[in-house]
Amino acid sequence: MTTLAILPVKGFERAKQRLRDRVPDGPRAGLAEAMVTDVLAALERVDGLDGVIVVTGEPIAAVLAHAAGAEVVHDAAEAGQSAATTLGIARALERGADRVLLVPGDCPALDPAELDALLALGDGVVIVPDRHGSGTNALLLRPPAAIAPSFGPGSRERHETAARAAGVAWRVLDVPSLGMDADTPEDLATLEASGRIGATTRTELERIDGEDAE
């Protein structure tokens, strides 16, 4: 069985707008880059993956992806996470993938062992909620077009409804390191307190905090 991860990456200058109260405009782009770097590094260490597709219109993200051995699908429209993952799914189908794992670029605590445990599950749809329980931070889909991704507020319920309508087996699974994203200052505080944050992201936050203290 061929399993590909799909990682949508928004342009770094526009990313993480809700973090503005914690991270100033300029450094936010660097933080977004650092988080994607950590996610790519974690995905490289997942035994159950046969490849990674990065969907992005961000030139730096494309360079990072190529350096990590990932394929890049250009996202000229940048119409959002759902649209980007749909582009990635189309490419995965062209490559003959049996299954796809849709993962976000802002989970820098990502644990390869937890992803391997997730990938050990069977067919259908696995919905990985965010730490609040109402959003979706990841989807595991077999077949890749089992349901259409619909990320954003309230997405867990939408994905559950879509899976029921499609008549496919589905389940909700908490994956701790995937549940910790960085959309808000509170999310970022939770990540930092966890002690599991990726090395590149941790270094970037220390640099930002050092500049703020000057």
Domain with residue 197: its CATH number is 3.90.550.10
Single-letter amino acid, residue 152 = G
Split into its structural domains, the chain has a count of 1
Given this model, what pLDDT does residue 213 score?
45
**Residue 214: inside a domain, yes or no?**
no
Report pLDDT digits (tens) over 109-137: 999 999 999 999 878 999 999 988 999 99
- Does residue 155 lie within any of the structural domains? yes
| pLDDT tier, 185 (very low <50, low <70, confident <90, very high otherwise) | confident
H-type helices in 45-148, by residue range?
A: 59-67, 81-94, 112-119
Q: Where residue 13 falls among pLDDT bands split at 50, 70, 90?
A: confident
In a domain, 213, yes or no: no
Please give the residue that has the higher pLDDT: either 194 or 124.
Answer: 124
Q: Is residue 194, in this structure, part of any structural domain at all?
A: yes
Assigned domain for 91 exists: yes
Give the residue-averaged pLDDT of 145-173: 97
Give the structural domain span for 111: 3-208
Count CB-CB contacts under 10 A for residue 149: 24
Residues 58 and 10: beta-carbon distance below 8 Å = yes
User: pLDDT tens-digit profile of 47-85?
Assistant: 999 999 999 999 999 999 999 999 999 999 999 999 999
The reply to whether 190 falls in a domain is yes
Give SS3 for 145.
coil
The dihedral built from the CA positions of residue 177, 178, 183 and 186, taken in this order, carries a sign that is: negative
